[in-house]
Amino acid sequence: MQDTYPRPVGRVLITGGGSGLGQAVVRAVAEAGGTPAVIDRDVTGAGEGVLARQADVSDRAAVERAVAEIAEELGGIDAVVTAAGIDRCGQLGDVAADQWELVIGVNLLGTVSTVRAALPHIEKVHGRVITVASSLALRALPDATAYCASKFGVLGFSRALAAESHGRIGVTTLIPAGMRTRFFDDRDEQYKPGPDAQLIDPSEVARTILFALQQPQGVEVRELVVAPEAEPSWP
């Protein structure tokens, strides 16, 4: 029997919850009456009173420890939002191999490690996994081979996970366009959004995540594309 909408948000583990989209999700979950928990390299921005564990999501063992500690303290996990992400822009031959691989390690493998570690807890409650891809999971751009590879991978992983786990958990892939966050701060000027760039407020994107989290069991929001009305990178 299906439960009703809106479903209680519950205990939500958020990677990258110390800044950007992840931080916006933490606030949205708390405002909706849920209990957010954070895994991030820097947890100072997670918010007062929010359960947080410091870990680099590219370190699988560290992720597994952090997830286990959070699940024990909260008495379980109802949902996961994998918002941690990085980028290294440039031509393939110009981006150092270790930095290129780090993008894959954080964006793709970090997503997989977090979901794998949390899966037994989510399955107990027929909870939900929300992975964060990108509009660059749908469109490839030059000087973005690492980021595109990682986000195409997140999309493929999420679709396959949904196929193999149906009836046990819900899986939603979020596909956002560029947001007004500090994500672009460490880029060279040529790779930063211009003054006329149309970027989304992360709080608006976080609201769409809440929509997916609150769907009743048996109702699937498989993919959510969130973009400005005239978003120029849309395929």
- Catalytic residue list: 147
Structure letter (DSSP) for residue 181: S
For residue 40, the surrounding DSSP H or E stretch is: strand 35-40
User: Phi/psi at 203 (nearest 5 deg)?
Assistant: -65, -30
Report the candidate in 149, 173, 153 with the shortest Cα–Cα distance to residue 162: 173
Query: How far is the C-alpha of 133 from the C-alpha of 125, rounded, in Å?
Result: 25
Residue type (1 letter), 170: G
**Residues in a beta bridge with 81:** 14, 130
Report the candidate in 33, 8, 77, 31 with the shortest Cα–Cα distance to residue 215: 8
DSSP letter string over 129-159?
EEEE--GGGTS--TT-HHHHHHHHHHHHHHH
Report the candidate in 19, 15, 12 with the shortest Cα–Cα distance to residue 39: 15
